[in-house]
Amino acid sequence: MPNALPRALPRHAAFSLSLAGLLVLSACSVGSPARTAAPSVSPGPSTSAGPSGGVDPTASPSSAPDASPSPAPSGDVGEIAHPTDPAAVVLSMEMCCGFMPVEWNLTDAPSFILYGDNRLIFRPSPDLDQQIGPGGTRPAFVVARMNAEQVDALLRFALGPGGLLDARESYENMLVSDAPTTTFTIDAAGVTKTVRAYALGMETQGPDAAIMGRLAELSDLLDSFEEQVAAGQVVSSEAYRPASYRGWLTEAFGDGPITEWPWEDLDPADFQAPPETFGRLAALSPEQVALITDEPTGGIMGMVLEADDGTLHSLSVRPLLPGEELLPPAPEEPAG
């Protein structure tokens, strides 16, 4: 039987981001580092502009990006300069690994990506009663589009109150074991960086408590972006239709429903074992995935399939996002 999502897994609290309100940044203190269930957004003070109209990375800590940088290139880009290529990643967040079933980790993916053409793809936050284990599913991805004003507001929040301007590259929490690592990337306003925070949202003490609290608020926002869609903070949204899926075959363990092998054009031997990865994988087309589910999916965890020779295999599937390759990047050594 599938298991319920453990209550210990961080479930990001949702809060409303007033995009219009963030367009005017005023000098005020950044909110308390303590994480609350429904925090409000308080824009931070402005910094000095960099030479290209972006944010000066040497600005003093606890400062937000400049309120009026130089205009970006022509088009629906707005005031915050950022890459405009549709394949360019402007802002992203991914939570990975930790003490979770292997099927969960195999279906992990970035939960939020904003691209250079103001398009974004996100996976809605799971219900606390989300089922994991054999046959469990993860929420289907949504593709949405924002206008220039909405993108500006989001990037201002991410760089300012959200902490990405001030954050260093890595944060550890030695008081917590087996927690996931949250990874942010940003390329906007002259700031290009990756920030990794281990055990984000859990109790943090010492000098990093304030910045971890700000990163946790940014994580809250991006991890529940369906609330911004419901509030009308995007121009349009629809279900994401991937061109391809990543399918993992692993050894089947435990009890659970068994499904007959669904494909005539794909055998277990067609799943290849790349070096330094767990299990075997193959690219699956939307038509092939449609033979095992008729619902849009953000991931299928550990569906047990019986091959023609009677062997059992555990199949985990997740959509490939734009620009992703079939072979996942090599896992990094987790902090903590």
pLDDT tens digits for range 235-267:
999 999 999 999 999 888 766 788 999 999 999
In a domain, 314, yes or no: yes
Instruction: Report the pLDDT averaged over residues 218-245.
Output: 94
**Do 252 and 224 share a domain, yes or no?**
no
Which bin fits 214, alpha (ψ -120 to 50), beta or left (φ > 0)? Answer: alpha
Look at 130-134, 218-222, 266-270 and tell me which has the smallest mean pLDDT.
130-134
In a domain, 231, yes or no: yes
In a domain, 224, yes or no: yes
**Do 118 and 166 share a domain, yes or no?**
yes
**Do 265 and 226 share a domain, yes or no?**
no
**Do 64 and 110 share a domain, yes or no?**
yes
**Do 67 and 104 share a domain, yes or no?**
yes
**Do 143 and 286 share a domain, yes or no?**
no
**Do 258 and 217 share a domain, yes or no?**
no
Domain endpoint, select from 238, 265, 285: 238
**287: domain range?**
242-319
In a domain, 328, yes or no: no
User: 20: pLDDT confidence band, cut at 50, 70 and 90?
Assistant: very low
Count: domains in the chain: 2
Please tell me which of 6-10, 93-97, 124-128 the model is most confident about, judged by mean pLDDT. 93-97
In a domain, 335, yes or no: no
**Do 253 and 208 share a domain, yes or no?**
no
25-33 contacts, C-beta under 8 A, 24 or more apart: 25/64, 25/65, 25/67, 25/156, 25/160, 29/62, 30/62, 30/64, 30/160, 30/161, 30/210, 30/214, 31/161, 31/213, 31/214, 31/217, 32/213, 33/209, 33/210, 33/211, 33/212, 33/213, 33/214
**Do 246 and 273 share a domain, yes or no?**
yes
In a domain, 332, yes or no: no
Look at 91-100, 173-182, 294-303 and tell me which has the smallest mean pLDDT.
173-182
Domain endpoint, select from 216, 238, 260: 238
**Do 80 and 224 share a domain, yes or no?**
yes
Q: Give me the percent of the chain exceeding a pLDDT of 90.
A: 43
pTM of the predicted structure, to 2 decimals: 0.74
User: 208: pLDDT confidence band, cut at 50, 70 and 90?
Assistant: confident
